[in-house]
Amino acid sequence: MSKMYEITVKGSFCGAHSLRYYRGKCEALHGHNWGVEVTVYGKSLDKTGMLMDFTVLKARLGKIIAALDHKHLNEVAFFKKQNPTSENIARHIHARLSPLIKKKMKVCVEETDSSRASYTAGP
C-alpha cells in the first residue's frame, strides 16, 4: 500500500425525501438529520505542511450542503432523475466538491447513527 495523508471534515444538513421504486415505509415522505464526512487523500503536503487547509475544505463542503439543507430532496434538480438515497446524496456531494478539491476523496453520508453510505473517486 502506498503512503497517503488524509484529512477529514464533517458537516450536516436536515432534509426530507421519499424513495421512489421502494416498497416499505421509506417510500413515504420522511426526514433525516444527515451527517456528512469528507476525507481527502494525497501523497504530498504543501509548503505549510498541510494536505489541505481544514478551513477551506469545511467552507467548500458547507456551501454544497447548504443547498440541500431544509429541502425536499426529491425536488432538488439532481434528484429529479436520481433517487435521493444516501448513496446518491454522497455521489452528488462528491460531484459538486470534486472540481473544487482536485484530490482523491471519499464522501460518507450518515442518515442514522447506524446507517451510512460512501462514494469514492478521484483524479
CATH number at residue 75: 3.30.479.10
Mean pLDDT calculated for residue range 40-66: 96
> What is the residue range of 32's domain?
5-121
Radius of gyration in angstroms for the set of CA atoms belonging to the chain, rounded to a whole number: 15
Q: 30 catalytic, yes or no?
A: no
26, 27, 30, 75: the catalytic one is 26
Using the structure block, give the residue that is written with the C-alpha cell 488524509: 6
Poorest-pLDDT segment among 24-28, 30-34, 62-66: 24-28
Q: 108 catalytic, yes or no?
A: no
14, 27, 30, 70: the catalytic one is 70
**Number of folded domains in the chain?**
1
Return the number of other C-beta atoms located less than 10 Å from residue 48's C-beta.
Answer: 6
Q: Is this model's pTM higher than 0.75 or not? A: yes
Return the number of other C-beta atoms located less than 10 Å from residue 96's C-beta.
Answer: 18
Task: State the average pLDDT for the chain.
Answer: 94
Q: Where do the DSSP E strands lie in 18-84?
A: 30-42, 71-72
pLDDT at 2 over 80: no
Using the structure block, give the residue that is written with the C-alpha cell 509548503: 47
Q: 72 catalytic, yes or no?
A: no
